[in-house]
Structure 1
């Protein structure tokens, strides 16, 4: 969903190059030559095109080949964000947004590569947010790539006509296809920046983590990455058969046809002529569907039959997800005893069992509110636990599962979304970018950030987060003890207990 409001990008200069920076020598990539910025410690290339602008007749089509250019293109400034309406992204926006950004250490070869897929519920976000600055991770010996992909109605519209015109007879997952196109670009070009195209890790949070889950399951992404990291997001692996209706192609196409009609368009050609500002104001709930191309079947079935791209995965969730996610998912803050059972059913997508209601009671308003927030956190954790369990049972590569319980130092001003161990709270630690949020970070916070950056980059390097200088992280085997708790000893003692996942079902 959203990332921390206090950490949003305030403009294209939010990751401005350091003083005394020099242009990099030209690098040949798909489409022509580019020049970035070299500050003597890290080289950067911002706003590198990985596909043609998806505008005009290309709106809602699969990403097309990069349009070649003459001369040396300067890639020193971020591209516009993809069109969106969220308040926490103030960057300039455009439909012409299929660009990526690269951070690379000086004078290195065959380094592991991390490709970051931003979150934002598939309706917001950009790869240029300051929290995603890859500088500190490059110090750990990796190359970092962040990408944009189409959002909202521009990235996730399906209609019968769009499916009919597609060479693959599919529509609705254009945003995921953009991610695949970016990975294809990385595969073809990253060696020119010192990267190893055979050691690519995809990494994302929230909708970005859901995208990682989809890419692990998609046959179209086979061979484009060798590891996968997903933080707090996986709602495309169905936990219950009822969830498959949300991913149904025919349902999505019918909703898209209704959207077209509501705009007064006779056909998709008419809709392509409409102003983007008009379209983006219309209600559209973006989601990934089983379109027959990107996804051929529901993802639980994919895992149970070992048809996923079998790569090592590192996934997890945070102890206070529900604080932020419950109002977003349920669309209300009115968590009372009167509507408790209905909200539980809405959250789960099916009628709750008596045992689950007993574990998350709502006799009083205060109890109901606390239960809904905790159940949201625990159901989010269940999704990550379930996915990891499927991999442990039906895959050959080892999975690693974490539970982030750390509540960092609170800032002087009131701290809302993403604070405590909220949704996205781990991101500044993973990127080792605590200073992007001006709060009184403790020495322990900074040590934890350096440790997590090491775990994540170790995993990108070898498929195993461990090294001799870090506490051992056991591969997940289904036991509670194999879930790696992240926090201080006191926090782990107080908050490290896992919910009873048996209440939610079994993989």
Structure 2
């Protein structure tokens, strides 16, 4: 093996040459959150002697694995590892992209093939970092009201893991050729909602200079009362009362994972419902404010943003679960809590112009994703901070421009097999490859220069609340001024309350 070694703050790493870039995989950025550290904030990693092999990915966070992955991937509470792609060592100070994966806060990892950083690193001459963070109960189960001060931050353990990775990047990325003062955080779906929360998280401030949010904006953040209510239900699934919460500390890893899987199976609808249960918590200390409120009050990170949604987000979930095909008030309450009545009214209004299924898809898309993104763009603009808004409209599938469909375009990886290509009946041709090149270039331009404008797309102005100009990505992309809209009466826009 070629002698590709970097000396970090904690020890030396042996990397590898993979095509045009160097990679370092399975790099520990925090002490394993096991034993007495379960549900606690991450601690600094232990230094290691000699040279540590960094040519294979670390374990994923606790989650149910797809049977196709079970043979090649492992899950463990000891999961806090990151991966680095770099065009070269010690050759200038390149911009840094830190990717935060999605997966409803119960699945996913930084090692998924679709997040291979080679294209961004090589095409954009940048450093790419992907990471794992604690998921599900280990990362977002709020225990502060049941177990006291030591666990006051437990509802945000997953967010604090991301902060620990950002601190590692700040302290070490220059040794990989990166600039710690030019860091962009980027996430999709649950990852974007984590990015939204990081905008308001005091511990994250100064560790990033701009952010990209794809289909998420912090709208799953909840108060401690709602979070504790969820924790009580989780305990009940184990046959435990609130007084027995300490028993969570002594469950084996397998028992904790089994409890999480059972709970998700009993509570889930179409892969969406548990997204609304696990999420960041406004606990008064780790996360003092709802992300949207922090931005509106000038208390959040004052950084440029690029954000948007897919036109038909909810079509993915409607296709995967028949329960989500038609309106149901119980589903609305489960997904949107105190906003369920407002969502029901929105459906009644949409029914005046659209067939039932289309009206339902519009409302689910709005309340799951679009409204949260629009509100963040608005508040960013009110603060006179740069923000660019997009909508992904390419829809040559059996289910339109569904949730997550933009990812292979952004990462410019249309040549990789897409798991939904056969059931959702779509293929990629020359027009799609051209669109992927355009979107990939726009994201690279934003990461490098803080502005997504490129010559292959129409001029893309910043979003302003009077013009509301938005890039619509399609085989022929264009900028339009979206119509004005007002929040419905009694709509709670900053987070979830159940």
In structure 1, the partner of 2:107 is 124
Q: Aligned partners of 2:64 and 2:5: how far apart in 1?
A: 36
C-alpha contact (below 8 Å) 1:311/1:397 kept by paired residues: yes
Q: Aligned partners of 1:30 and 1:161: how far apart in 2?
A: 37
Partner SS, residue 501 of structure 1:
coil
Q: Alignment partner for residue 360 of structure 1, among 341, 347, 350?
A: 350
In the TM superposition, what is the alpha-carbon distance from 1:346 to its structure 2 partner? Answer: 6.0
In structure 2, the partner of 1:393 is 382
Gapped regions of structure 1 (runs ≥ 5): 1-21, 238-245
In structure 2, the partner of 1:436 is 416
Partner SS, residue 48 of structure 1:
strand
In structure 2, the partner of 1:4 is none
In structure 1, the partner of 2:150 is 165
C-alpha contact (below 8 Å) 1:24/1:43 kept by paired residues: no
Residues 1:85 and 2:64 aligned together: yes
Partner SS, residue 281 of structure 1:
helix
In structure 2, the partner of 1:28 is 7
In structure 2, the partner of 1:448 is 435
Question: What CA deviation, in whole Å up to 9, does each residue of 1:364-390 have, x standing for no partner?
Answer: xx9322211122223322221111001
Number of corresponding residues: 458
Q: Aligned partners of 1:269 and 1:69: how far apart in 2?
A: 33
Question: What CA deviation, in whole Å up to 9, does each residue of 1:402-422 have, x standing for no partner?
Answer: 0110135x5xxxx7xxx6421
In structure 2, the partner of 1:5 is none
Residues 1:181 and 2:181 aligned together: no
Residues 1:64 and 2:49 aligned together: no
C-alpha contact (below 8 Å) 1:326/1:376 kept by paired residues: no
Q: Alignment partner for residue 76 of structure 1, among 46, 49, 55?
A: 55
Question: What CA deviation, in whole Å up to 9, does each residue of 1:42-94 have, x standing for no partner?
Answer: 00011000001111111111111102111100100111111112537542111
In the TM superposition, what is the alpha-carbon distance from 1:112 to its structure 2 partner? Answer: 0.5
Measured at CA, do residues 24 and 267 of structure 1 come closer, stay the same or move farther in structure 2, by a change above 3 Å? farther
Q: Aligned partners of 1:124 and 1:40: how far apart in 2?
A: 29
In structure 1, the partner of 2:257 is 280
Partner SS, residue 172 of structure 1:
helix
In the TM superposition, what is the alpha-carbon distance from 1:453 to its structure 2 partner? Answer: 1.2
Measured at CA, do residues 210 and 74 of structure 1 come closer, stay the same or move farther in structure 2, by a change above 3 Å? same
Summarize the alignment of residues 4-403 of structure 1 with structure 2, pairs less than 5 Å apart. 22-39=1-18, 41-85=20-64, 87=66, 90=70, 91-107=73-89, 108-138=91-121, 139-159=123-143, 160-166=145-151, 169-236=152-219, 247-253=222-228, 255-256=230-231, 259-260=234-235, 262-264=238-240, 270-282=247-259, 283=263, 285-326=277-318, 332-335=323-326, 339=328, 349-352=339-342, 356-361=346-351, 367-379=355-367, 380-394=369-383, 396-403=384-391
Measured at CA, do residues 500 and 378 of structure 1 come closer, stay the same or move farther in structure 2, by a change above 3 Å? farther
Superposed CA RMSD in Å reads 2.9
C-alpha contact (below 8 Å) 1:149/1:179 kept by paired residues: yes
Q: Aligned partners of 1:437 and 1:504: how far apart in 2?
A: 41
In structure 2, the partner of 1:7 is none
Q: Aligned partners of 1:231 and 1:24: how far apart in 2?
A: 38
Q: Aligned partners of 1:302 and 1:343: how far apart in 2?
A: 29
Measured at CA, do residues 423 and 185 of structure 1 come closer, stay the same or move farther in structure 2, by a change above 3 Å? same
My pick for the range that moved more, 155-164 or 215-224, is: 155-164
In the TM superposition, what is the alpha-carbon distance from 1:397 to its structure 2 partner? Answer: 2.4
C-alpha contact (below 8 Å) 1:114/1:144 kept by paired residues: yes
In the TM superposition, what is the alpha-carbon distance from 1:23 to its structure 2 partner? Answer: 3.5
Q: Aligned partners of 2:390 and 2:254: how far apart in 1?
A: 41
Partner SS, residue 281 of structure 2:
coil
What TM-score results when the alignment is normalised by the length of structure 1? 0.82
